């Protein structure tokens, strides 16, 4: 039987004053006439974000949640072109090390999902380079946390541009220009607009990249294919990874706003996925992408506990029993 482990994204709706995404705009930065003083303020914000992230991990430990997506906004302005001389890691390395030690000591899987502006298939060389800079920032965060960066950063294939097939092939062409360390860090998710599960698997199999299956995105964007038919390929894409198979689950907000995430996850959607994938892998980590964050996870587990075929392993992991 497969163990299914639930996680959630970046923030808690239960912890007060614990945002890991506090920020500072470039405009505010420039209002501080002393560059060093402005940088110190940025560093204070970043340290506060990291400490809040540690609070979130401690909150998760209390509820036996050991799968979590870290905020990509831990360090404000880290990749901005006007702050390239700022050595932010020198100031933050001890805080990051503490965060990494806690997650490792408690067997937690943590990862990142940069925003949509990371576009490796862009025909614009400048956009491609900015995307690499953002990925390097995530790579450094993981390294300074003392965690192996392997397969911890989710990205999409990118834009369709004028020709979808050509743009898909451009991702493959650009892959050779991505540093090896960053290559090993990346995993690919099917999106809700451009690239289907089958499109992504084509690239994943060519480049030996794990595939993150997003069931909500598949329902919004497919070419008539059944995800179940491709599931063995998804599992196989993780065969060389030290981490378990990962998928994303969310429910549509409404029929009218089908692509938007609902506050909570429909338990029947998860149960249908579980019944169809049980036994296909030793463990499948399911990332909940819902507006209510940890409350969505807690609500889902409370519903799972009532099901006669669900056997809870921890407060946030379970098996299906026939």
- CA dist 69 and 91 (Å) reads 23
Token digits for 145?
């946390």
Q: Tens digits of per-residue pLDDT, 151-186?
A: 999 999 999 998 999 999 999 999 999 999 999 999
Instruction: Name 256's Cβ contacts closer than 8 Å, sequence gap at least 6.
Output: none
Residue extents of the structural domains in the chain: 3-16+108-320
Look at residue 116 in the predicted model and tell me its pLDDT. Answer: 84
Please give the radius of gyration of the chain, using alpha carbons only, rounded to the nearest integer.
Answer: 20
Spans of the chain below 70 pLDDT: none
Helix (H, G, I), strand (E, B) or coil at 316: coil
Tell me which CATH homologous superfamily contains domain 3-16+108-320. Divalent-metal-dependent TIM barrel enzymes (3.20.20.150)
DSSP 186-253: EEEE--SSS--HHHHHHHHHHHT--EEEEHHHHHHS-SS--HHHHHHHHHHHTTT-SS-EEEEE--BS
The pTM (predicted TM-score) of the whole model is 0.96
- CA dist 237 and 52 (Å) reads 34
Q: How far is CA 183 from CA 62, 100, 158, 180, 242, in A?
A: 34, 21, 16, 5, 15
- CA dist 179 and 182 (Å) reads 5
């Amino acid at each position: 039987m497969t163990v299914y482990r639930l996680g959630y994204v970046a923030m808690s709706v239960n912890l007060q004053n614990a945002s890991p995404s506090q920020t500072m705009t470039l405009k505010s930065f420039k209002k501080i006439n002393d560059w060093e003083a402005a940088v110190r303020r940025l560093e204070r914000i970043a340290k506060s974000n990291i400490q809040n992230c540690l609070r979130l991990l401690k909150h998760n430990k209390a509820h036996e949640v050991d799968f979590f997506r870290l905020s990509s906004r831990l360090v404000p302005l880290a990749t901005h072109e006007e702050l390239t001389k700022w050595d932010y890691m020198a100031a933050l390395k001890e805080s990051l090390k503490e965060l990494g030690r806690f997650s490792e000591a408690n067997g937690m899987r943590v990862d990142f999902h940069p925003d949509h502006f990371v576009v490796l298939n862009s025909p614009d060389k400048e956009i491609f380079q900015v995307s690499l800079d953002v990925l390097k920032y995530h790579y450094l965060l993981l390294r300074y946390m003392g965690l192996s960066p392997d397969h911890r950063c989710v990205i999409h294939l990118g834009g369709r541009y004028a020709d979808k097939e050509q743009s898909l092939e451009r991702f493959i062409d650009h892959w050779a220009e991505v540093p090896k360390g960053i290559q090993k860090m990346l995993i690919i998710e099917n999106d809700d607009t451009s690239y289907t599960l089958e499109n992504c698997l084509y690239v994943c199999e060519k480049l030996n990249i794990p595939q993150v299956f997003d069931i909500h995105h598949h329902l919004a964007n497919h070419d008539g294919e059944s995800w179940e038919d491709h599931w063995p390929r998804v599992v196989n894409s993780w065969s060389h990874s030290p981490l378990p198979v990962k998928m994303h689950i969310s429910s549509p907000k409404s029929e009218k706003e089908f692509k938007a995430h609902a506050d909570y996850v429909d338990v029947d959607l998860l149960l249908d996925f579980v019944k169809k994938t049980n036994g296909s892998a030793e463990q499948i980590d399911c990332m909940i992408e819902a507006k209510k964050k940890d409350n969505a996870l807690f609500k889902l587990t409370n519903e799972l506990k009532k099901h006669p075929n669900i056997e809870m392993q921890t407060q946030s992991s379970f098996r299906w029993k026939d």
